């Protein structure tokens, strides 16, 4: 169970990220929690090859932050959708 303590993913917006995780990867869009990217959404540096801005565009288009990871993601659970927004 991972309900209750999750925060919303900076990319897909569902509540998939463990609150105290430093570098959690979202199961829904495969975006990795990254404080510096959340501050600078156009920054493609650091751990990822794509910026958060681009990840969001990719998620809306393909359902994943990078099509490379299309087979790694799943649909959001009901509890995660309820936390949406």
Please, what is the minimum distance in Å from the beta carbon of residue 40 to Zn ion?
18
Least Å distance, CB 16 to Zn ion, is 5
Residues 11-40 that bind Zn ion (CB under 5 A): 11-12, 26, 28-29, 31
56 binds Zn ion (CB under 5 A): no
- Per the CB < 8 A criterion, the answer to whether 35 and 54 are in contact is no
What's the closest the beta carbon of residue 62 comes to Zn ion, in angstroms? Answer: 13
Return the bridge partners of 6, or none: 18
Helices and strands in the chain: count of H runs, count of E runs: 3, 2
Q: Which residue's CB is nearer to Zn ion, number 45 or number 74?
A: 74
Q: Which is nearer to Zn ion, 25 or 44 (CB)?
A: 25
Query: 68, 62, 76: which is closest to 26 by C-alpha?
Result: 76
- CA–CA separation, 11 and 38 (whole Å): 9
* Binding-site ranges for Zn ion (CB under 5 A): 9, 11-12, 26, 28-29, 31
């Amino acid at each position: 169970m991972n309900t209750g303590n999750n925060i919303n993913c900076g990319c897909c917006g569902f509540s998939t990220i463990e609150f105290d995780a430093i570098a959690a990867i979202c199961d829904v869009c495969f975006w990795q929690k990254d404080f510096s990217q959340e501050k600078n959404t156009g920054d493609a540096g650091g751990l990822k090859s794509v910026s958060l801005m681009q990840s969001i565009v990719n998620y809306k288009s393909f359902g994943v932050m990078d099509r490379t990871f299309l087979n790694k993601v799943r649909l959001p659970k009901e509890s995660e959708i309820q936390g949406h927004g």
